[in-house]
Amino acid sequence: MEAKRKVFDIAESITNDGMTEREKIKAVHDWIIDHTSYDIVNYENNSIPEDSYNITGVMLKGVAVCSGYARTFDYFMFVLGIEHEHVTGLVDSPKGGRGGHAWNRVLLDNTWYYIDCTWDDKPLWAGESLRYRYYLISYEEMSKKIMKRRNFYKNILRKKYRLYCIDFFMV
């Protein structure tokens, strides 16, 4: 309940009636990214607490996994009266294999646009900033980016595997 109240307070402080829906969406996107860190330690240890999967993680603790980012963005859109959907699917995992992922889409000018605050957050496994790569993009763009990300993870895993083999044989 406290986390939901905080969404109302933050929404009021980062948006105003003179802003367009597009400006409000950007304000929320940026606020979530600026105030949340991916719960990488618990992710890597397979010990993700329930709070990291929902708005409590973002709003009260400042840590979350994709579901927490997406649910928080979803609730902000509800509060602001912007048509939106919470989207889930399978994507390639940096650990290898495929895993569940959550993101959002919003309706602007009768067109659905995708937003992924998790993948736009500060890089988790990459060495570059991805801040607006998954911001207000079409279904086609999202699909292409997911495929590129899939190839990126395959390359990272290959590199890690090669490094592991080198380290193993050097010991």
What percentage of the chain exceeds 90 in pLDDT? 56
CA distances (Å), origin 31, targets 14, 23, 41, 72: 8, 12, 22, 11
Identify the pLDDT of residue 153.
Answer: 38
pLDDT tens digits along 128-160: 555 788 899 988 888 776 655 544 434 433 333
pTM flag (> 0.85): no
Q: Is it the case that residue 171 has pLDDT exceeding 70?
A: no
Given a contact cutoff of 8 angstroms between Cβ atoms, the answer to whether 91 and 99 are in contact is: yes
pLDDT tens digits along 7-26: 999 999 999 999 999 999 99
Identify the pLDDT of residue 127.
Answer: 53
Q: Is it the case that residue 112 has pLDDT exceeding 50?
A: yes
Amino acid at position 33, single letter: I
Given a contact cutoff of 8 angstroms between Cβ atoms, the answer to whether 43 and 53 are in contact is: no
pLDDT tens digits along 28-82: 999 999 999 999 889 889 999 999 999 999 999 999 999 999 999 999 999 999 9
3-state secondary structure 3-35: HHHHHHHHHHHHCCCCCCHHHHHHHHHHHHHHH
3-state secondary structure the chain: CHHHHHHHHHHHHHCCCCCCHHHHHHHHHHHHHHHCEECHHHHHCCCCCHHHHCHHHHHHHCEECHHHHHHHHHHHHHHHCCCEEEEEEEEECCCCCEEEEEEEEEEECCEEEEECHHHHCCCCCCCCCCCCCCCCECHHHHHHHHHHHHHHHHHHHHHHHHHHHHHHHHC
Identify the pLDDT of residue 26.
Answer: 96
Identify the pLDDT of residue 158.
Answer: 37
Identify the pLDDT of residue 151.
Answer: 45
Q: Considering the chain, what is the average pLDDT of its residues?
A: 81
Identify the pLDDT of residue 134.
Answer: 86
